[in-house]
């Protein structure tokens, strides 16, 4: 005989199966921090040590997986729902490929108008962050929360203290909502005053994120010397920064070649992976994609057309110990008589490139003249792309070309992109001035 109790039991079983199915689909991971038998800090994901081999930026996740990355860093929650050309969100695509995410939560900067002494501003941001963590905490790709990026104020000021204290409150909120993933905040470089303020006013931080370029590989020793004992992640590293580079006589920063950039990535990565201080949990190379920052090619590891650049080969070598199957061309020199010099309006100058390709691929060349950027911003803020002058280059698709200097006085650059037709490329540029 069928009783009502049987119906209730069946409903209960159905609900339990549904809940288990949802949890299984979400596949929420558990990530914690622990010290191994050697006393070194490790990320432990679902019971297994996890060393971050990451990249940061919006480039192809498929390519990131192919070259050996296991984690992607984002900067804002909205990036999780961003769709690729095939309509897949970053969140779901990461899950499909087995990639983890350092989920960036953008914490507003005072330089953008946010007020850390205004309770209305503070409360709204807290509510937004709580809602975001609730929404995404159970997704299987979540590895750590990246709470804020380079939002610190001047060390020793009331503003700085207010920011650290508020980050501490925000970290508490995240931990209330999600005890299964550590909280990290990213700062620009490290100095003693900054680290001391974090230790004093921001005790709830689990991991320190460091963005650094020249000398980035020594971050562990630097932090340890300042008394820092918690783990850190190198959240941005790459070429020599534009603020660190030598300058042309008129002040234009001289961009490293693709090969020089690759060497810097490899040196930083190799030093970090040694982890002699026992503090480093891994790293995220910058930038997996491309952007205009000082120039259109300074930081990107990919072209806008999708080809990889030499720093990607450096990551492959550093992570796997082997070279990529198809390597990027090697741009040895750009011969341009007025490089770092001044020329006359309308003057014609020959340019040529010396390039090698270890795979013997047929190479394609693309020369471009662009104005020097005048829209220079701080902290990675968006910059406008300067004007280009396609009519200034004759033979733009050849290994050698002729450049007719623009008529308008000012600073310019001659850019070269070399592609192998198989998904690899390299870039270089030289500044010049028309007087």
Q: Are 63 and 309 in contact (CB under 8 A)?
A: no
What digits encode the pLDDT tens for the residues 125-137?
A: 999 999 999 999 9
Q: What is the rounded CA–CA span in Å between residue 349 and residue 61? A: 42
Would you say residue 19 has pLDDT above 70? no
User: Given pLDDT bands bounded at 50, 70 and 90, which one contains residue 13?
Assistant: very low
Sheet of 364-371, strand order: 342-343, 425-434, 410-419, 364-371
What digits encode the pLDDT tens for the residues 381-409?
A: 889 999 999 999 999 999 999 999 999 99
Looking at residue 115, what is its pLDDT? Answer: 84
What digits encode the pLDDT tens for the residues 309-322?
A: 999 999 999 999 99
The distance from CA 176 to its chain's CA centroid, rounded to whole angstroms, is 28
Looking at residue 36, what is its pLDDT? Answer: 96
Q: What is the rounded CA–CA span in Å between residue 371 and residue 384? A: 12
- The encoded tokens of residue 339 equal 């490089």
Looking at residue 380, what is its pLDDT? Answer: 79
Give residues with Cβ within 8 angstroms of 356, minimum separation 6.
Answer: 329, 330, 332
Segment (H or E) for 433? strand 425-434
Looking at residue 16, what is its pLDDT? Answer: 37
Q: What would the DSSP string read from start to end of 25-69? A: HHT---EEEEE-TTS-EEEEETTEEE-EEEEESSS-HHHHHHHT-
Looking at residue 428, what is its pLDDT? Answer: 97
Q: Are 395 and 407 in contact (CB under 8 A)?
A: no
Strands 330-335 and 410-419: what pairing? unpaired
User: Given pLDDT bands bounded at 50, 70 and 90, which one contains residue 178?
Assistant: very high
Looking at residue 379, what is its pLDDT? Answer: 75
Q: What is the rounded CA–CA span in Å between residue 253 and residue 430? A: 10
> How is the chain split into domains, by residue range?
27-320, 330-434
What digits encode the pLDDT tens for the residues 179-217?
A: 999 999 999 999 999 999 999 999 999 999 999 999 899
Looking at residue 3, what is its pLDDT? Answer: 45
Strands 142-149 and 100-105: what pairing? parallel
Over residues 285-300, the mean pLDDT reads 96
Q: Are 217 and 266 in contact (CB under 8 A)?
A: no
Over residues 99-110, the mean pLDDT reads 95
Give residues with Cβ within 8 angstroms of 100, minimum separation 6.
Answer: 29, 45, 50, 52, 70, 71, 72, 94, 141, 142, 143
Looking at residue 376, what is its pLDDT? Answer: 87
What digits encode the pLDDT tens for the residues 346-388?
A: 999 999 999 999 999 999 999 999 999 998 887 778 899 999 9
Does the domain formed by 27-320 have CATH 3.50.30.60?
no
Would you say residue 167 has pLDDT above 80? yes
SS3 421: coil
| Cβ neighbours of 11 (radius 10 Å) | 10
Looking at residue 96, what is its pLDDT? Answer: 97
Q: What is the rounded CA–CA span in Å between residue 301 and residue 65? A: 15
Would you say residue 20 has pLDDT above 80? no
Beta bridge partners of 108: none
Q: Which parts of 275-385 fold into alpha helices (H)?
A: 310-320
- Nearest CA to 308 among 42, 39, 69? 69
pTM reported for the whole predicted model: 0.92
Q: Are 425 and 329 in contact (CB under 8 A)?
A: yes
* Domain 330-434: CATH superfamily, name plus number: Immunoglobulins (2.60.40.10)
- The encoded tokens of residue 190 equal 């490290």
Residue count (the chain): 435
The distance from CA 3 to its chain's CA centroid, rounded to whole angstroms, is 61
Looking at residue 142, what is its pLDDT? Answer: 98
Q: What is the rounded CA–CA span in Å between residue 236 and residue 377? A: 18
- Percent above pLDDT 70 for the chain: 94
Would you say residue 286 has pLDDT above 70? yes
What digits encode the pLDDT tens for the residues 23-56?
A: 334 568 999 999 999 999 999 999 999 999 999 9
Would you say residue 265 has pLDDT above 80? yes
Same CATH topology for 27-320 and 330-434: the answer is no
User: Given pLDDT bands bounded at 50, 70 and 90, which one contains residue 10?
Assistant: very low
The chain-wide mean pLDDT, for the chain, equals 92
Would you say residue 6 has pLDDT above 50? no
Over residues 274-298, the mean pLDDT reads 96
């Amino acid at each position: 005989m069928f009783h009502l109790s049987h119906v209730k039991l069946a409903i209960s079983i159905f609900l339990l199966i549904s809940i288990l199915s949802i949890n299984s689909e979400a596949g929420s991971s558990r990530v914690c921090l622990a010290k191994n038998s050697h006393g070194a800090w490790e990320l432990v994901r679902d019971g297994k040590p996890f060393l971050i081999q990451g990249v940061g930026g919006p480039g192809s996740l498929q390519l990131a997986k192919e070259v050996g990355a296991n984690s992607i860093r984002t900067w804002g929650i909205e990036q999780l729902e961003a769709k690729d050309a095939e309509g897949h969100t970053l969140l779901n695509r990461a899950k499909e490929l087995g990639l983890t995410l350092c989920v960036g939560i953008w914490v507003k900067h005072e330089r953008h108008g946010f007020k850390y002494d205004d309770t209305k501003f503070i409360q709204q941001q807290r509510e937004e962050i709580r809602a975001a963590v609730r929404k995404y905490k159970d997704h299987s790709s979540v590895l750590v929360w990246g709470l804020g990026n380079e939002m610190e104020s001047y060390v020793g000021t009331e503003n700085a203290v207010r920011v650290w204290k508020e980050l501490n409150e925000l970290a508490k909120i995240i931990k209330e909502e999600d005890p299964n993933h550590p909280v990290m905040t990213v700062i620009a470089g490290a100095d003693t005053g900054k680290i001391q303020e974090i230790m004093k006013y921001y005790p709830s931080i689990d991991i320190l994120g460091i963005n650094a370029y020249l000398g980035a590989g020594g971050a562990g020793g630097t932090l340890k010397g300042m008394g820092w004992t918690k783990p850190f992640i190198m959240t941005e590293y790459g070429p020599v920064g534009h603020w660190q580079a030598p300058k042309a006589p008129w002040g234009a920063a001289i961009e490293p070649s693709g090969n020089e950039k690759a060497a810097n990535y490899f040196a930083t990565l190799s030093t970090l992976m040694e982890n002699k201080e026992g503090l480093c949990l891994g790293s995220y190379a910058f930038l997996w994609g491309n952007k205009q920052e000082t120039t259109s090619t300074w930081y990107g590891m990919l072209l806008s057309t999708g080809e990889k650049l030499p720093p990607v080969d450096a990551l492959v070598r550093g992570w796997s110990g082997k070279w990529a199957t198809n390597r990027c061309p090697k741009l040895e020199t750009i011969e341009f008589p007025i490089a770092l010099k001044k020329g006359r309006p309308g003057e014609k100058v020959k340019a040529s490139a010396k390039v090698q390709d270890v795979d013997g691929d047929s190479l394609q060349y693309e020369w471009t003249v662009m104005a020097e950027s005048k829209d220079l911003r701080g902290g990675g803020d968006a910059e406008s792309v300067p004007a280009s002058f396609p009519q200034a280059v004759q033979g733009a698709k050849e290994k050698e070309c002729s450049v007719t200097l623009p008529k308008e006085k000012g600073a310019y650059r001659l850019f070269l992109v070399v592609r192998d037709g198989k998904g690899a490329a390299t870039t270089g540029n030289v500044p010049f001035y028309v007087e």
